[in-house]
Amino acid sequence: MADYVVTGATLIDGTGAEPVANAALFVHDGRVAWAGPMNQLPAEVRKADEVDAAGRWVIPGLIDAHVHICWNGRESVLDLIHRDRDLIILEAVDTVRRILETGTTTVRDIGGHDYVEMSIRKAITAGHIAGPRMRTSGKVIAMTGGHAYFIAREADGPDDVRRAAREQIKAGADTVKLMATGGAATPGQDVMASQLTVEELAAAVGAAHAMGRTVATHCHGTGGIKNSVLAGVDSIEHGTYLDEETADLMVERGTALVLTQGVARPDPDKVPPGQQAEYERLEKIFDALTERTRQSIQIAREKGVLIGSGTDAGGNALAPHDFSMARELECLVEGGFTPLKALTIVTRNNAGILRWTNELGTLEPGKLADFVILNADPLDNIRNVRQIHAVYKGGTRI
C-alpha cells in the first residue's frame, strides 16, 4: 500500500484533545505514522501522495461496543431464529457492509447466533467480504428460561455456567456475555429481576479471566448490576437502574458501563412493516428505561465510572443497523456530554472496553489507520457524523 498524507482537514484524534485545524495525517503501511498541524509536517512526508481534505473533518473510525450482527433489527429475534441459517448468514453479510459504510470500523458482537458471527469475522479478516473489525462473544449465557433463552446457552449453577463460558471461548469468543437481569426483548420478563447469581457470574468471570477474556453482563435492575460488579465482570451493558453505591463499587473495581440508548428510542414514524404490535408492547417499557437511564448517566458521570457506548442494533425488531452509532452519539449529547466527549466515548473509551487500545480508538502514531472524513463539523452539531465523505479501514478507502 502506498503511503499518503491526508491534508487540510480539522483533526479530532479521539484522545479527547481539542481539534487541530489545518492538520495532516500521514498513513504508512495501513497505520498512522504521524498526525498534527500541517506546518509541522516532517519534510520527508511531504513527498507522499496527497489526499486533499481541506474544509473537511477527520475522526477515528467509530466503535460499536454492543451490537448483534446476526439479527436484522427489523424483525424480532424470536421470529428470525426459525429462518433458514443460510439466509441469516447472507443477511449478516449485508449488515456488516452497511455498518462499515456508516463509519463504524469496529464492533463487538455481544450475542450471536449459532456462531455465524464467528464465520462472518473470519470472512472479513480474510478479505472475502467488507465489514468492521470484530470482537465476538458467541452465544449469550442465561439461566434456564432467562433473558433471550431462545438464543442462549442455558446454564444453571456455577459449574455449568463455567462450562458454558469455556464453550464460548473454545468457539472463539473474546468476551463472555451473560444475562444478569430480565430483558425487554423477551416477552413477559421483569427487567428489574436479577437472574444469574453472584456465584454463577463469578464462575464465568474466573474462567474468562484465566483465558485472558473479558466478561460483559446484560443488566437493567440494580440487583443484577450489583451482582455483576461483585462477581468481577468487566462491563455492565445498559446499566439502567444504576445507583450511587454500585457506581462507587464500579469505580473501585474498574467496571465499565456500556450505554445503549438509541435502541430504547425507536422512531415511531419508522416502525418496520408488521411490527406495530411489537412497537406498542415495547413503547412503555422503553419510555421507563430511557427515563431511568438519564439518572444512571448522571450518577456514572458524577462518580467517574468509565463509560462506553453501543447501539444494541439487531437486538429487537425496532433496532436497525442504519447509522445507529450516529444515533448513539446524538443520545450521548442529549444526555449532557459535549460532542467532543461523546466522540471520545465511542472511540477511545470503547477501544479500551474491547481491550484494543494498542491498535484502535485514537489517531496517534502506531495505531491502525481507521478513520472517517466528514463533510461537516461534528463538534458544531453531532448529527454531522452522518455527513460522510469517506471511510478508511486499515488505511484503505472503503
Q: Which residue, 312 or 370, is less far from Zn ion as judged by CB? A: 312
Stretch that binds Zn ion, among 26-34, 152-160, 163-171, 315-323 (CB under 5 A): 315-323
Q: Which residue, 224 or 315, is less far from Zn ion as judged by CB? A: 315
Stretch that binds Zn ion, among 174-182, 291-299, 308-316, 363-371 (CB under 5 A): 308-316
Identify the bridge partners of residue 371 per DSSP, sorted by sequence position: 60, 392
Report residue 122 as a C-alpha cell: 473470519
Stretch that binds Zn ion, among 38-46, 314-322, 346-354, 366-374 (CB under 5 A): 314-322
Q: Which residue, 60 or 315, is less far from Zn ion as judged by CB? A: 315
- Runs of H (alpha helix) within the chain: 77-80, 85-101, 116-126, 158-171, 198-210, 222-231, 244-253, 276-303, 324-334, 339-344, 350-353
Using CA atoms, how far apart are residues 66 and 195, in angstroms rounded to an integer?
A: 20
Q: Least distance from C-beta 316 to Zn ion, angstroms? A: 9
Q: Which residue, 221 or 315, is less far from Zn ion as judged by CB? A: 315
Residue with cell 421470529: 79
Question: How far is residue 284 CA from its own chain's centroid?
Answer: 25
Among 200, 312, 328, 330, binds Zn ion (CB under 5 A): 312
Phi-psi region of 127 (alpha: psi -120 to 50; beta: other; left: phi over 0): left
Q: Which residue, 257 or 391, is less far from Zn ion as judged by CB? A: 257
Q: Which residue, 312 or 328, is less far from Zn ion as judged by CB? A: 312
Using CA atoms, how far apart are residues 24 and 161, in angstroms rounded to an integer?
A: 50
378 in contact with Zn ion (CB under 5 A): no
Q: Which residue, 59 or 176, is less far from Zn ion as judged by CB? A: 176
Q: Specify the amino acid at residue 60.
A: P
117 in contact with Zn ion (CB under 5 A): no
| Residues 6 or more apart whose Cβ sits within 8 Å of residue 222 | 192, 241, 242, 243, 246
Q: Least distance from C-beta 391 to Zn ion, angstroms? A: 24
Q: Least distance from C-beta 275 to Zn ion, angstroms? A: 18
Show contacts with Zn ion in window 181-200 (CB under 5 A): none
315 in contact with Zn ion (CB under 5 A): yes
Q: Which residue, 131 or 315, is less far from Zn ion as judged by CB? A: 315
x-or-dash pattern for Zn ion, window 254-293, by CB under 5 A?
Answer: ----------------------------------------
Q: Least distance from C-beta 78 to Zn ion, angstroms? A: 14
Using CA atoms, how far apart are residues 68 and 314, in angstroms rounded to an integer?
A: 5
Nearest to Zn ion by Cβ — which residue? 315
Q: Least distance from C-beta 310 to Zn ion, angstroms? A: 8
Q: Least distance from C-beta 260 to Zn ion, angstroms? A: 7
Stretch that binds Zn ion, among 75-83, 293-301, 305-313, 354-362 (CB under 5 A): 305-313
Q: Least distance from C-beta 61 to Zn ion, angstroms? A: 21
Q: Least distance from C-beta 153 to Zn ion, angstroms? A: 16
Q: Least distance from C-beta 140 to Zn ion, angstroms? A: 8
Using CA atoms, how far apart are residues 161 and 195, in angstroms rounded to an integer?
A: 13
CB atoms within 10 A of CB 119: 15
Q: Which residue, 250 or 259, is less far from Zn ion as judged by CB? A: 259
CB atoms within 10 A of CB 234: 22
| Residues 6 or more apart whose Cβ sits within 8 Å of residue 134 | 69, 106, 107, 108, 109, 117, 120, 121, 124
Using CA atoms, how far apart are residues 152 and 139, in angstroms rounded to an integer?
A: 6
Q: Least distance from C-beta 312 to Zn ion, angstroms? A: 4
Q: Helix 116-126 vs helix 85-101: angle between axes, to the nearest 10 degrees? A: 50
Stretch that binds Zn ion, among 194-202, 244-252, 311-319, 342-350 (CB under 5 A): 311-319
Using CA atoms, how far apart are residues 242 and 150, in angstroms rounded to an integer?
A: 27
Q: Which residue, 73 or 315, is less far from Zn ion as judged by CB? A: 315
* CA 222 to each of CA 60, 216, 239, 304, 375: distance values in angstroms, whole numbers, following the listed order: 34, 16, 8, 18, 42
Residue count, binding to Zn ion (CB under 5 A) = 2
Footprint of Zn ion on this chain (CB under 5 A)?
A: 312, 315
